[in-house]
Amino acid sequence: MSTTSGNMAGTAGSGTIGARVGRLTAWVILALIIFISLFPFYWALRTGLTFNRALLTGDQSILPPDLTWLNFKRVLGLASDAEMVQATGFENSASFDYLLALRNSMIIATVITIGQVFFSAMAAYAFSRLRFKGRDQLFFLYLTGLMVPPIFALIPNLILMKNLGWLNSFQGVIAPFFLMTPFAVFFLRQFFLGINRSLEEAAIIDGAGHFTVFRRVILPIAAPQMVTLAVLTYVTAWNEFLWPLVVAPQEENVQPLTVALNAFTTQVPGTQPDWSGLMAGTLLAALPVLVIFIAFGRRLVDSIQFSGIK
C-alpha cells in the first residue's frame, strides 16, 4: 500500500533544459486554467457584494464599485424594509428561511449519498467480482439507464410518488436517487475492476463469505473511490432542482436550497435580473458544499494517491 508515484514530481526529466522549459510551460498553462476556473467565482462574489444599480453602469473595476453586505443580509432575511428598498428599489419582503432550506438540503443530500453509494457499491461488487449468468447483459441494461432522458422518468416517478402519498415529503424527494444511479454503479465497477484480486482470494480461501469480503476487503481498499463518488453524489443531490420542485412544491419544510433560492430570486420585483441577490444567494447555497468539499478534499487527496495494492 505504499505510495509509489507520489514522489515523481521533482525527479522526472529534470536533467535537460528542454524538459525544464516544458515544465515551465506546463505550469503556465495550469495557472491559466486555474485562473479561468476561479475568476467567475470571484466575479460572482464581487457581484454579490455590489448594489444592483452599480452593476448596470458597466463599471468593470476589480473591486466591488459600490460595496455592500446588504445582498447577503437580504438573502438571509435579515434586511430591514428600508434596506430592501436600498438594495432592490422595492419594499419587498422576499426572503427565505436559509437555515431551514440548508437543513433540508443536508438531510436530502446525506441520505441520498449514504444509500446510493452503499447500494451501488454492492451492485458494483456483483458486476466486477461475481460471476453469474447474464451479468454483462444486466450491466449493459443498467448502463442504458444513463441514456434515458431524466425528463422521461419525471412524470411516471411523480405519479408513483403521488400514489404512494409521498408528495411534499422527504421520502418523495429522496426515493428516486436512494437505491442507485446507473452512474454510481458504472463508476464503482470501473474502479473495482482495477483492484487486485489476491487479497480477497486469500480471504475467501480462509473461509470468508462474499459479504465479509465486500465489507472487509473491497470497501476499505476502494475507500478513495467511494469517497470520490460520495462527494460527486452529494454535490449532484445538493444541486438537484427540477425533481424537488415538482415533487415538493408546497412544503417549505422539505424544499432544498436550490428550490428556495429560485423562489427567492423570482420574488424580487422588476425586470432586471437581481444579479446581486442571485449571486449572494448562490454563494451562500454553495458554501456548505464547499465546506464539505474542503473537509473531505484532504482525505480525497491523501487516499487517492495509493494506487491499489500491487
Partner 1 sequence: MEEISNMLREIKKLRLLAVLAAMALAAAACGSDGDDAAASLDEPVTIDYWLWDGNQQPFYETCAADFTANVQPNVTVNIEQFGWGDYWTGLTAAFASDSAPDVFTDHLARYPEFVESGVLVSLNDFVERDGVDVNQYFPGLAELWTSPDGDRFGLPKDFDTIAMVLNTDMLADAGISVDDFNNATWNPQDGGTWGELIQRLTIDANGVRGNEDGFDSSNVAVYGFGLEGNFGAFGQTTFSAFAASNGYQATDEPWADSANFGDEALIETIQWFADWIAAGYITPIEDVESLGGTTIFQNGGAATQTNGSWMISTLSGDATEVPVEYGALPVGPIGERRSMFNGLADSITTSAENPEAAWEWVKYMASPACQEVVGGGAVVFPAIPSAADIAEAAHASNGVDVSAFKVHVDEGTTFLFPITDSASRIEDAMGPVMQQILRNEGTAADLIPPAAEEINSILGS
Partner 2 sequence: MTAVSPDVGASETRPKPSGKKVQNLTGGWPVAFWFLLPSMVGFLVFFLLPTIRGFYLSFTDWNLIGNNGKFIGLENYEKLAGDDQFYASMWRTLKYVVINIGSQTVIAVLIASMMDRLTRSSVIRGALLLPWLMPNVVVALLWLWMLDGSIGVVTEFLKFIGFSDDLAFFTDTGKVIPTIAAINTWKYMGYTALLMFAGLQTIPGTVYEAAAMDGATEFQMFRKITLPLMRPVLALVLVITMIGSFQVFDTVLVATGGFGGQPGGPVNASKVIYLYIYQNAFNFNDLGYAAALSVILVLILIIVTFFQLKLLRAGESDLA
Segment 230-249, which members bind partner 1 (CB under 8 A)? Answer: 242, 245-246, 249
Segment 198-227, which members bind partner 1 (CB under 8 A)? Answer: 208-212, 215
Residue type, 25: T
85 CB-near residues (< 8 Å, 6+ apart): 91
Nine-digit cell string for 155: 412524470
CB 162 within 8 A of CB 169: no
* Residue 257 interacts with partner 1 (CB under 8 A): yes or no: no
Stretch binding partner 1 (CB under 8 A), from 26-34, 130-138, 148-156, 184-192 = 148-156
Range 234-240 contact pairs with CB under 8 angstroms and sequence separation of 24 or more: 234/109, 234/110, 234/112, 234/113, 234/289, 234/292, 235/289, 235/293, 237/108, 237/109, 237/112, 237/113, 237/177, 238/105, 238/109, 238/288, 238/289, 240/108, 240/177
SS3 114: helix
Nine-digit cell string for 220: 476499505
Residue 151 interacts, among partner 2, partner 1, none and using kind-specific CB cut-offs from 5 to 8 Å, with: partner 2
CB 268 within 8 A of CB 90: yes
Stretch binding partner 2 (CB under 8 A), from 35-43, 67-75, 77-85, 165-173 = 35-43
First to last CA, the chain: 7
Least distance in Å: CB of 48 to partner 2?
A: 11
Residue 73 interacts, among partner 1, partner 2, none and using kind-specific CB cut-offs from 5 to 8 Å, with: none
Segment 77-116, which members bind partner 2 (CB under 8 A)? Answer: none
Alpha helix segments (H runs only) across 132-209:
135-147, 150-164, 170-178, 182-193, 198-205
> What single-letter DSSP state applies at residue 260?
H
Q: How far apart are CA 11 and CA 101, in angstroms?
A: 50
Segment 155-184, which members bind partner 2 (CB under 8 A)? Answer: 155-157, 160, 175-176, 178-180, 182-183
Segment 186-245, which members bind partner 2 (CB under 8 A)? Answer: 186-187, 189-191, 193-194, 197, 200-201, 204, 210-211, 214, 224-225, 228, 232, 235, 239, 241-242
# chain residues binding partner 1, by CB under 8 A = 44
Least distance in Å: CB of 113 to partner 1?
A: 17
Nine-digit cell string for 272: 432586471
**5 or 93, CB closer to partner 1?**
93
Q: Build a one-symbol-per-residue string for 102-141: x at contacts with partner 1 by CB under 8 A, - elsewhere.
A: ----------------------------------------
Residue type, 177: F
Phi, psi for residue 67 in degrees, rounded to 5: -60, 135
**56 or 85, CB closer to partner 2?**
56
Residue that the C-alpha cell 482470494 belongs to: 201
* Residue 307 interacts with partner 2 (CB under 8 A): yes or no: yes
Residue 9 interacts, among partner 2, partner 1, none and using kind-specific CB cut-offs from 5 to 8 Å, with: partner 2
Q: Build a one-symbol-per-residue string for 266-295: x at contacts with partner 1 by CB under 8 A, - elsewhere.
A: xxxxxxxx----------------------
Segment 60-79, which members bind partner 1 (CB under 8 A)? Answer: none
Which residues contact partner 1 (rule: CB under 8 A)?
A: 53, 56, 85, 88-90, 92-94, 154-156, 158-164, 167, 175, 179, 208-212, 215, 242, 245-246, 249-250, 262-263, 265-273
